[in-house]
Amino acid sequence: MHPTAPVIAATDFSPQARQAAERAARLAHENGAPLALVHVLPGDTLEALRAWLGSDTAPERAMHDEARAALAIQAADLKARRHVEPAVVCRSGPVLDEILREAEARDASLLVLGARGSGFLRRLVLGSTAERLMRRSAKPLLVVRQAPHEPYRRVLVAVDFSPWSKAAVALAHRVAPHAQLVLMAAFEVPFGEKLRYAGVDDATVERYREAARQEATRRVHALAEDCGLRAAQWTPRVLEGDASLRIVEQEAELGCDLVVLGKHGRSASVDLLLGSTTRHVLAEGSADVLVSTVRD
């Protein structure tokens, strides 16, 4: 997050979207950044309304007026309680396109939305639109699932030593500068079970496992040093097994309130964001999820 680049919160006025706007306001205030609240009236819904009502535009105008009034109320509430003065944006059209257009136009440092919405944002996070948003957005994306009662305290950063990992660590440190970072790497012994079927003895497999653990541990420490983290700012977590399972387990075990993932894995074909890892973390975890879209 650049300290002066705007934070954008997409809202459909659901309780979950309000939580997301609260978190966005808190982050904007902490970083001295502008905040914009964006609501989009779905273009397909308006088209259906026009098809039913013909040339009568009064209902459509009323929907816009209602949305602007709701935005003004939410902005005034955030100004009073979070000491930020949000800009308000009400648009209509393809929801995904309009949100991304606004983020690009304002050169946003962060795009924030709730994990569950009552309308279009529910589809954004839970359906294929979410995947398109995350694939297309060049902006970091924060999915808020918890009420923002306090700054983030403990942040789990999933790293795989790809070019995306350093940027994810840096983003985590900017969004949560006072939090303890947990750098978590999951490793697996290549062909571990197949080695046993092939007659490789357990002692040899265990040597492979320990070598993989030591190499992952070395690389986690090297990454932290490369990112300029001091010893007091972070702790390592190196575990064997599937990354998506380990992330959720460690989030709960360590009491993490934010999980940070890189947009891509080791190659273009290994996409943490759009693959099973992020879907599993969003479905099974409880912490907020921050997706870094920048590679080192």
Domains in the chain, start-ordered, CATH in brackets? 7-144 (3.40.50.620), 154-292 (3.40.50.620)
Task: Report d(CA 187, CA 95) in Å as an integer.
Answer: 39
pLDDT band at 137 (very low <50, low <70, confident <90, very high): confident
Q: For the residues 95-103, what does the mean pLDDT come to?
A: 89
Backbone angles phi, psi at 229, to 5 degrees: -80, 135
Query: Span 147-160, mean pLDDT?
Result: 94
pLDDT for 121 beyond 50: no
CA 246 – CA 191 distance, rounded (Å) = 19
Q: Where are the alpha helices (DSSP H) in 37-185?
A: 43-53, 58-82, 95-105, 120-126, 128-136, 163-175
Record the pTM: 0.85
Give the pLDDT confidence of 270-281 residue by residue, as tens digits. Answer: 444 445 677 778
Percent residues over pLDDT 70 in the chain: 78
List the Cα angle 41/47/51 in 5-degree steps: 140
* Side-chain half-sphere CA neighbours of 186 within 13 A: 15
Task: Return the residue matching tokens 């007659």.
Answer: 199
Residue 103 has pLDDT above 60, yes or no: yes
Q: How confident is the model at residue 284 (pLDDT cuts 50, 70, 90)?
A: confident
